[in-house]
Amino acid sequence: MKIIHFILWWIFILSIPVLLVSAVVRVEVQFLPFYEYEYEKNNIKQVTGFDDHQLGIITRHLMQYFNGKVESPQLVVEKNDETMRLFHEHEIVHLEDVKEVFQYAFKIHYIAMAYFVFYLLVNILFRKKQKLVYFWKGLRNGSILTILLLVILGIGMFVGFHNLFIQFHYLVFGDPQSSPWILDPRTDHLVMMYPLNFWQDAAIFGAVTIITVSVILAILSWSFSLGYRHSRR
């Protein structure tokens, strides 16, 4: 029985980084103020020729697409007094791949959250003497592990975000010959709207958010764990 508890505890610890990262990814994908900030910062209106209203429509449509609420990312837009399709075919293919990645991330978030609740209930129902002490210790250790992983990732982003970004695309999307993720900023609206600076800021914002939440959880779990030990004396 002890070995089962030990395995469940370690799975819980390892699930904390997964839970926090997938949660922040899910929030960022749907956080409209971040998009608006980046559009202003990167002069996207001047780059694309779209006004704020058009950019808002496009962004909300892509959010709905990534959440599976619309079937296609394609939109018909007005630009330079002409009606046109927003994305080229190769951009559509890449967006389909991106949607698949986001859908996997959302499913992983559900699984990690379900395990979080499951482990909490296990500790409440079956650990009569020690109650939530292993839950709090696991949450503390998982939060610390998350901080360490994000610090390492942060160093990698600081040293060379561009190379890290390219390697990520090779890892997730494969060879650009088979999955067209190398786009032309002169003609492809997808990369016009979301240049490298956008993704770098998204990564920094996500990392800072995850580390902040992890520090708070580590402090809270340490406090509860310490309070439990004092109450047992």
- If you write DSSP's letter for every residue of 4-43 in order, what string do you get? HHHHHHHHHHHHHHHHHHHHHHHHHHT-HHHHHHHHHHTT
Report the alpha-carbon distance of residue 93 to residue 75 in Å, rounded. 14
**What confidence score (pLDDT) does residue 125 get?**
83
Mean pLDDT for 57-61 is: 96
Listed range (50-59, 178-187, 203-212) with the worst mean pLDDT: 178-187
What's the whole-model pTM score? 0.88
pLDDT confidence of 99, banded at 50, 70, 90? Answer: very high
User: Which residue bears the tokens 């998204």?
Assistant: 202
Nearest to 153 by CA among 212, 216, 210: 210
Mean predicted lDDT score pLDDT of the chain: 90
CA distances from 198 to 39, 127, 128, 191, 233 (A): 9, 47, 50, 10, 53
pLDDT confidence of 182, banded at 50, 70, 90? Answer: confident
Report the alpha-carbon distance of residue 139 to residue 126 in Å, rounded. 18
Show Cβ contacts of residue 223 under 8 Å, excluding neighbours closer than 6 positions: none
**What confidence score (pLDDT) does residue 124 get?**
84
Report the alpha-carbon distance of residue 69 to residue 63 in Å, rounded. 9
Q: Which amino acid is at 83?
A: T
